[in-house]
Amino acid sequence: MPNERITIRTRDGDCPLYLMTPVSDGLWPAVIFLMDAGGIRPALLDMAQQLANSGYIVLLPDLFYRYGPYGPFVPKEVFAGDFRAILGPLMSTTSPIKAAEDAEALLAYLDTRDDVGGRKIGVVGFCMGGGMALATAGTYPERFAAAASFHGGNLATDAPTSPHLFAPTLKAEVYIGAADNDGSYPPAMAERLQRSLTEAGVRYTTQTYPAAHGWMMPDFPVYDHAAAERGWSEMLTLFGRTLHGGE
């Protein structure tokens, strides 16, 4: 089904947004889909539409809007070179805090639609979007019933804006899908995040996949089909359990 490209106004400017809807009419739960550092590209649009086809209204914001025009990037080409030099300047324009601020406008937009069923929504993030998902759900705890992070990095650091610091305000059920080969989320960091979630009384599940960082992204060199299918199943189970109450 075709997606729709719109623009919303955030605190920092105009943010391009892709809207994906289910194939049939009705009232549907909404999910905010937070991108990885590869930016908006065909594979990401396909993933967001795949989620929509499962019965969700999906918002995919271009979190690099503060940077200006870019790409689209082909991850296999980017990773073949100095990917930090290519993606670093774009990544520096956003953060978990800024993504959470952007969610203010996304929530306001969802509230204008008459096809969204219920106020409680979900959020899922991949790679850099993983920490953004936790920060977003922690910033608007009354709106988010579920938050999922897949191969998210730097989820629990010493930075004053670290995503794990949002644990005390989280009311969403959380899912953390980690890779066993991921320098951005080592075991000590995983333990720190889990300790924060446990101490805050957050309902959460964490699973480590026998895969590399980025395994969910179909255009990444490390894409793992079997592990990705498992990840999709876990995500849909989470959203199905938490977003269909009609609240």
| Residue pointed to by tokens 């490209």 | 5
For residue 116, the SS3 value is strand
Q: Tell me the domains of the chain and their CATH numbers.
A: 4-242 (3.40.50.1820)
DSSP 160-199: TT-GGGGGGG--SEEEEEEEEE-TTS-HHHHHHHHHHHHH
pLDDT in tens, 109-138: 999 999 999 899 999 999 999 999 999 999
* pTM to 2 decimal places: 0.96
pLDDT in tens, 169-189: 999 999 999 999 899 999 999
Q: Which residues have C-beta within 8 Å of that of residue 106, sequence separation ≥ 6?
A: 8, 17, 32, 59, 61
Give the per-residue pLDDT at 59.
98
